[in-house]
Structure 1
């Protein structure tokens, strides 16, 4: 599908080109018409001169007398005019020498008329029939020069049309860019508005045109979206907080019950399972509370400068143990030396979640690769696995809460689908971003985190 800018540019160029072509064709027609009328005028002027030479008694003219009166004059004008004189019966009384063996078409009636004719051996002529008493004086001029001029005109017009089409494309592109600038501004602003930035709004120019009305409509929608998002955040935080107390009471009573049924192995096992599930619920509630606080911007973080190389090496030791326990190798492909401002415990938790997920999807004997790259103002770290990867439409969704995508070949495990949601919250707290993409060289997933160094 083509963009609106391209469609506007092409439409503008098409209109300009079509209009220019129509004007050039109209100009060619008018030029041709004016030149033909000019030839008719010159033919009539030649007739006036011949009429003066023929005298006031055309009835008495004979072929010899006509030749004697105008023959020499027509020899002088042979390059301009052809002349033929015939009577009312169609008998030719005189022909100019430049006609050679050709004849001009005889007029059926003695009346003034101008017409275009084709004469063999001569070509196209503009013929004027001019009555003189009982005679018809025919004066013709060649249209060759006119046709040559029109050919040159249309050749130049074609060049001008191509230039106009090219220029209209450039002008149309600039016009489209200028006209659609408010739409681009709306698009850029709307793209910046996310879960971490719901307060930004599209600038309103205060006009009453369609673009301003669209901006106001979108701002109203973002207001409702922000309110709904805040309500969801409050609900998550409130629900997590309110459920902690009754869950703690349930855990306390379960521990008392375990002591009371210690003599019954079956009952003891059931209580142990209950305590395990209660502990999982505790973890889920703590995670939800953490995410809600992070998204609400009320979670304080203690950022401090860390030596990047030392921090990654320290984490890599634990990651190797975790990977080897599952039959997977862990490698550090790149570890730049730099200093970065982070909350080390949160970043360690982020890396641990990424490696844990990578271990879960990696085949036995597979390799997990960590890369840490420091640039001028940014730290980029990535974790690549050799699992089956993800469908393209799930690469964004995988960072949402409670999303668990079972991939073919991945080891089945219990989880609540909050690990990558925590990673995104931690990245947001550091004013960074996290995204996933499938490996281009083989099957597998690369999760990349970009954080500012300061």
Structure 2
């Protein structure tokens, strides 16, 4: 199930609003509760002081009925305010249900709470002792205020607060949905533009100028991905075309020679000659396929594993010896120079293959009698093995692509017949793959009539001489 950003934003808006309203509501509820309690205390204190003054100045039993009448007048019909006067002398008592009150009266003087039978809410009370006066002994005065009105007020406030908070959350959700829709509109436009891209429109790029800053970085990164994808797609198309071209030539030769051989009666030696020619083409096909499989394994991250610590110059010398006859035929020489004492941990078979491809490339693009130089350079971070040969210069726009598969510079540089050297455009690509398998890299330079191509091995595989 897809998770919508709009829904998530609305949910977060709602949670934030609910939290804020809850905090504000709790604060308001606490303030109202304290104010109502203070109002009760003020009312109790005022009534208690007035009543105590009236009783405190009345000590004549004959005048006590007037006090009782006054207290009855002060008592509302709903009983929300109650008065009791407790005394050992029955002549100076007042209040309904005195017996129950006397049993419940255990609180000391001051503010208190009293619960009576038949009442839903307790009474908030103020109790005090009035000193004796004339014939009246000391009495206890209790003034009580029913908490029901205050509790009803708090309850109504709570209901209103919850209702308004839920309504506020709903409004915030609706407003948040609208804000999210407006805010995500550039993202939807960006998504629509991205969906319109296809293999035939890889050169198209997403517009950055109308987008907000947060999406500009994403768009720049996406355009970078498109640029790399376009390059890879174009390279893949060219690669497919090159593969088809490289395979088509030997296949066409095989088919053509076979058709000619079958067109009329041939002798056994003639068929043997045809088969020998076909075998050469088949060997070429096998070489191309094996090289492509090797490059595929390298692309999948295969690394050199059978590492052996050996002398780099020694391995270069062995590879040069392999080309001895070809060099003699072309009257070319190869000189190994530089840090000949450098050692590294390498997979010798891969190293020789890379060196063979570099020497093969140098011989192929050099004139007869040329001097080829192999230079070994020990650096702090790597050992560099460079093969240099004299020849026509290579322009800077070709140098970065020399290690691409099936890539060849202008045919005018090629002083020898391709078929003679069995080249099929994968030699330098294999050099790059072998360098990568060892954790190194490749380099190329062409200046002053000398072309230098080589690879490096990281210092982690090397030993300083």
TM-score by length of 1: 0.48
Q: Which structure: larger Rg?
A: 2
Q: Which has the higher contact order (CA 8 A, sep 6+)?
A: 2
